[in-house]
Amino acid sequence: MVMRPVIVCLIYLISLNLLILNLMTCGCSKAKKQEAQNPLTQVEQLKQEANNGNLAAAFELGKMLINGTNTEKDLTNGISWIEKAANGGHAKAMEYMGFLYETGPGVEPSLTKALDWYQKSYKAGNTNVISQINKIKDSLALEKARQDEEIEKQHQEAIKKETLEIYNEGVRLASGDGTQQDLSKAAELFKKAAERGFGPAQYNLAMLLLTGSGVEKNVVEAERLLKLAADQDYPEAQYSLAVLYAKGEIDGKPDFKKAAEWAEKAAAQGKAEAQYNLGILYATGHGVPQDDAKAAEWFKKAAEQGHPIAQSNLGVFYVKGRGVKQDFKEALKWFLLAAEQGNPVAQYNLGIFYQKGQGVDRDPAEAYKWTLLAAEQGDQDAIQNRDYLAMELSPKDIAEGIRRATSFVLKKFTNSTEFLLSLTNEPDIN
């Protein structure tokens, strides 16, 4: 009976604790529920404030919509709210608009518009945008430079195309290709293209001036034009200057030093005629120190391009051992290449080789063939040797030599009827 009040007190305390716990649990649930409702309330509240002209609210609302912060993402509406804030003078909103136009989300990227917004933001007191302003200015300046460069390139390409068309028409009139030849009109067109700095036109006009074709002859002006073209590394002009100076057509006195300088420039670019003539200058010591080795070197460069006189000269160098080691077989090779192109000196020398058996087996008929071919081109040494062989060789060898010469002409040359008739005539024997 004494314990009863104690039990009652315990029961009371337990019940009180349960009630407190229940109240705490309910409070937490309501707090969580309230917390979940707060974001929606915040968006609505910001929208209401923004509609009432609160620029800061409009800016914050725009950012929440763009980022989808506690609301459904809505890029278009978000940008709209930020733009309203920016147009109202909100410096941070202006900065944000600059960022959007710089990076492109939701708007078409435009550095010009981005710069405009950044500058507005700076004027509104936002100094944080200074680095972006400078960065975009640099980018725009670089872009403008690129555009200007492209425009200039297109302009130059158009001029170049037009100039080439003018030049080509000049070439057509000068050559009479598909039209009546008109050197005077061609000279006018070449001059027009030459005044634009077109090397080939400068060269062609110079050639007309040198000969007085279609224009009054003017060697001084021709020299000036050739130099302009030559300074553009136009090999034809460089070689023509070399010839001009070698012949002394400027002041009546040859200048082999200048001739060698220009010939070497053209030769270095692979012009065979220049390489051959440079070989001549080194072989004779005109304008350069006499040097057989260099002469042989330039003859070989030209010979390898099929220049017949260079081939013949190189053959002579190998025979005599000038600038190269004496080598009759090598000489024979170059004489043959030149002779097959109709070079009379090489044909004569080839005849001597077959006559004497130098670098090749002796062949009287082949000797007569090449000697006869050279003689018919007027080579005096060949004429004398032809007459000598006519007395020394058997009729059979002579007949075979004529047959071979006739076959050679038929294979190598056209319009050879007159030449063939002369081949079949017996030489005069005195």
CA-closest candidate to residue 84, choices 101, 97, 67, 75: 97
pLDDT, residue 221, reads 97
Q: Which tokens sit at 203?
A: 């060269």
**CA distance readout (Å), 37 to 40, 43, 50, 293:** 6, 11, 20, 101
Phi (first) and psi of residue 197, to 5 degrees: 85, 15
- Average pLDDT for residues 197-213, to the nearest whole number? 97
Rounded to an integer, what is the distance from CA 303 to the centroid of its chain?
A: 29
CA 123, 129, 134, 137: dihedral to nearest 10 degrees?
A: -70
pLDDT digits 0-9 by tens, 37-65: 455 578 889 999 999 999 999 999 999 99
pLDDT digits 0-9 by tens, 69-97: 989 999 999 999 999 999 999 999 999 99
pLDDT, residue 424, reads 46
State which amino acid sits at residue 410. L
pLDDT, residue 18, reads 42
pLDDT digits 0-9 by tens, 17-37: 443 334 334 343 443 444 444
Q: Which tokens sit at 50?
A: 């923004």
Domain boundaries, the chain: 34-149
Give the span between the Cα atoms of 369 and 384, in whole angstroms. Answer: 14
Unique residue bearing structure tokens 């080939």: 200
Q: Percentage of residues in the chain with pLDDT exceeding 90?
A: 78
- Average pLDDT for residues 116-142, to the nearest whole number? 94
CATH architecture of 34-149: Alpha Horseshoe (1.25)
CA atoms within 13 A of residue 69's CA, in its CB half-sphere:
11
Q: DSSP per residue over 273-291, as a string? A: HHHHHHHHHHHHTSSS---
pLDDT, residue 150, reads 87
- Residue 12 pLDDT level (bands cut at 50, 70, 90): very low
- Residue 104 pLDDT level (bands cut at 50, 70, 90): confident
pLDDT reading at 155 higher than 60: yes
pLDDT, residue 112, reads 93
Give the span between the Cα atoms of 334 and 159, in whole angstroms. Answer: 47
pLDDT, residue 38, reads 53
Q: DSSP per residue over 227-264, as a string? A: HHHHTTT-HHHHHHHHHHHHHTTTTSS--HHHHHHHHH
pLDDT digits 0-9 by tens, 157-184: 888 899 999 999 999 999 999 999 999 9
Stated pTM of the model: 0.65
Which contacts (CB < 8 Å, 24+ apart) does range 219-222 have? 219/244, 219/249, 219/250, 220/250
pLDDT digits 0-9 by tens, 253-290: 999 999 999 999 999 999 999 999 999 999 999 999 99
